[in-house]
Structure 1
Amino acid sequence: MSIQKISDRRNLELKMPHIPWFVQQFIDFKRPDLSPSTLLEYIRDYESFFGWLRGEGLTVATNNTELTLLDLETLHMDNIVGYRLYLTTRTVGTNTRVTVSRKLSALRSLFHYLSQIAEDENFYPLLKRNIMAKVEIKRLHKPKDTAAKLKGKILEDEELLEFVGYIYEGYGRDIEANKQAYYSFLLNRERDACIASLILNSGLRVSEVVNLNVDDVDVNNKLMYVTRKGNNDETFKTPVYFREQAKDDIALYLNLRQSRYKTPKREKAMFIALPNGQQEGKRMTKRAIQEMIIKYAKRFGKPYLTVHKLRHSFATDYYLQNDIYKTKEQLGHASTETTEIYAHLTDKTMSEAIERRLES
């Protein structure tokens, strides 16, 4: 089980006693299908809504556990409109359209469960009236729109190799005058280049990179066993292939992983950090990897580049040579709808490639 999942599960259990019994029932119903992280997000969204209900005097409950089904059953449409306005116009912590849509979707899921699935001892629905059934939630992220936002913000063609090469050599030349930064660069460049190369040649998510263990990587067969997002079977790891270009980068890093980072044998993590003053290396964090890529990207002249955009860069390049179904499987998408982003991105890439060919 990943470190993040252990933390989320612990936090989930801490929050469960402080929500209404019927919400606890809903969370238990969803446990087999959703990750602890997603369930935590649900609970936080419900806490926000219940707090608003109390603040508006729409319930006599003094805390969340005292809320009743009748409180939800007697809500009017103007109450839901009021909550939406509260989310979008409050002076502190105003939510984006995406966040508002997510919070309302979480409420719809709860109300649907209570009115259509859960039942009392007489086999009647727990919730007799479902106000959220009347709420229309517009889809905000269409693949074409997402592709438009990524336009010009990913690595293309030779840039994929150039970025890894820059981590190995170019960055060191750029910061050589700064002795502390240069020392850190020399210590970590093989590891950092390996991480960038792995993402650019496999499309792994940053969470999948963080959770990767040494025993999960088969360098000779260019294969990894990855704990995929949304997979609640913690004993199962998905086989994911990486391209030939990453093979030497991985082998180089693995040869120095233990000696350079003072990695104890009990530490199974693939990617290790050795914090200042520490005697032993430990698993790199998600935040450390994200900040590391941003550091190199700025010097490389691509300040908008992030870990996730490295994944997009791989996916766009991969889709040019494969169909949407292979791309979906490689990236671990739940549906081809998400993968359609790269169909729109490659439309642009193909047209530009043709223009370059005509100009040459």
Structure 2
Amino acid sequence: MATPALTLHHMLDTYGDYLAYERGLSSHTVRAYQSDLQQFFAMFHVHGDDSLETLLPTLELNDVRQWLAQGTAEGASRATTARRSAALRTWSAWAYKKDYLPHDITMRLRSPSVDNRLPSVLSINQVEQLLTYVHEQEDRARVAVKEMPGDMQIHRQWRICSRDVAILEILYATGIRVSELCGLCISDLDSAERVMTVTGKGNKQRRVPFGVPAAKAMTQWLRLRKEHLRQSSAPDDDALFLSIRGKRIDPRAVRELVHHYAHAAGVPDIGPHDLRHSAATHVLSGGADLRSVQELLGHSSLSTTQRYTHVSPERLRTAYNQAFPRA
């Protein structure tokens, strides 16, 4: 029996399985790498069920460089270019081992430098302003329910508002990634100890604590979550945070609600990652050591934590005055 032709769809699926099950990469990274590879082959007008058997033996390093340069010319950031480069290097090494390529075409590809500019950081007062605003919105929704208890639309708005409060409180209280937040399950939450089990990159788990305000917001959301599940046609019973329809919430929805509330609260425009960086910065400024912040953020390397946590000039001056004999 003849071997079926190798199509782009088949290779993307096989490559995705390799990334997920052998490399242990997150579903977000797997999708990103597959998308990068799909765009690379689109440069050769290869799509979907098109065969790759004629093209693959002809690929060279210059093809990869041309595609990366094209992306840069179209405005791709250095971080995006670095990810695309990593996706193609990983794929090329894998494809060579699978005998899809006659040689590893990216062996001499240099990794582009990553943009080390820090994300936006809210001050402690700005975070308070943001969280106060979302709590006020939840209070208004609760009052509206009392005034019109039979209005199911108002009930749903209250539940969603309560969920949003819990999401923002948890994002700031824990500094977890948006993908980690969306992946949380009910069983990951230990309300009594105020800690949660977070599954990060490479399926590595860590225990992350959270404070009293976040715990109160979670208690309120968990109570309303039960009603939200009952009102949903196809609920996800295991997901901690739910969409309007009762499914597990996705990262895009979380990003949209963070941007929405930041704008409405009158603070600088931020996303979930900026809340993560703000939390880490505030913990560090409060006296935490870098190693503890590394554990909190789930970084495998301390050098990564050093990039995401900068020391405020005030704390640096205080430490200098206290420690240096000729300060």
Q: Normalised by the size of structure 1, how large is the TM-score?
A: 0.67
Contact 1:20 1:68 in 2 (8 A): no
1:127 equivalent to 2:95? Answer no
**Which of the numbers 205, 214, 220 marks the counterpart of 2:192?**
220
**2:253 match:** 288
In structure 2, the CA distance between the partners of 1:64 and 1:335, relative to structure 1 (3 Å rule), is: farther
Residues 99-143 of structure 1: per-residue CA shift (max 9 Å, x gap): 33332332233334566xx387xxxx9635x5533332321233x
**2:147 match:** none
Q: Distance in 2 between matches of 1:167 and 1:141?
A: 32
1:341 equivalent to 2:322? Answer no
Report 1:91-240 matches (<5 A): 95-113=76-94, 118=97, 127-128=102-103, 130-142=104-116, 145=117, 147=118, 150=119, 153-169=120-136, 186-231=158-203, 237-240=205-208
- Give the percent of matched residue pairs that are identical in Structure 1 and Structure 2: 26
Measured on the aligned residues, the alpha-carbon RMSD in Å equals 4.1
Contact 1:101 1:138 in 2 (8 A): yes
Contact 1:50 1:64 in 2 (8 A): no
In structure 2, the CA distance between the partners of 1:110 and 1:273, relative to structure 1 (3 Å rule), is: closer
The Cα of 1:300 is off from its aligned counterpart by 1.6
Contact 2:172 2:278 in 1 (8 A): yes
3-state DSSP of counterpart to 2:22: coil
Q: Distance in 2 between matches of 1:266 and 1:81?
A: 44
For structure 1, which runs of at least 5 residues remain unmatched after alignment? 1-15, 56-61, 276-280, 355-360
**2:293 match:** 327
3-state DSSP of counterpart to 2:197: strand
Contact 1:154 1:312 in 2 (8 A): yes
- Does 130-139 or 18-27 show the bigger shift? 18-27
The Cα of 1:329 is off from its aligned counterpart by 1.4
Which AA in structure 2 matches 1:268? D
1:49 equivalent to 2:40? Answer yes
Q: Distance in 2 between matches of 1:64 and 1:352?
A: 63
Q: Normalised by the size of structure 2, how large is the TM-score?
A: 0.73
In structure 2, the CA distance between the partners of 1:182 and 1:163, relative to structure 1 (3 Å rule), is: farther
The Cα of 1:18 is off from its aligned counterpart by 2.4
Size of the aligned set, in residue pairs, is 301
Contact 1:23 1:110 in 2 (8 A): no
The Cα of 1:36 is off from its aligned counterpart by 4.1
Which AA in structure 1 matches 2:269? Y
The Cα of 1:185 is off from its aligned counterpart by 5.9
Which AA in structure 2 matches 1:32? E
**2:265 match:** 300
**2:8 match:** 19
The Cα of 1:313 is off from its aligned counterpart by 1.3
Report 1:308-319 matches (<5 A): 308-319=273-284
The Cα of 1:41 is off from its aligned counterpart by 3.0
For structure 2, which runs of at least 5 residues remain unmatched after alignment? 144-150, 320-327
Q: Distance in 1 between matches of 2:91 and 2:277?
A: 33
3-state DSSP of counterpart to 1:220: coil
The Cα of 1:172 is off from its aligned counterpart by 7.0
Q: Distance in 1 between matches of 2:185 and 2:33?
A: 30
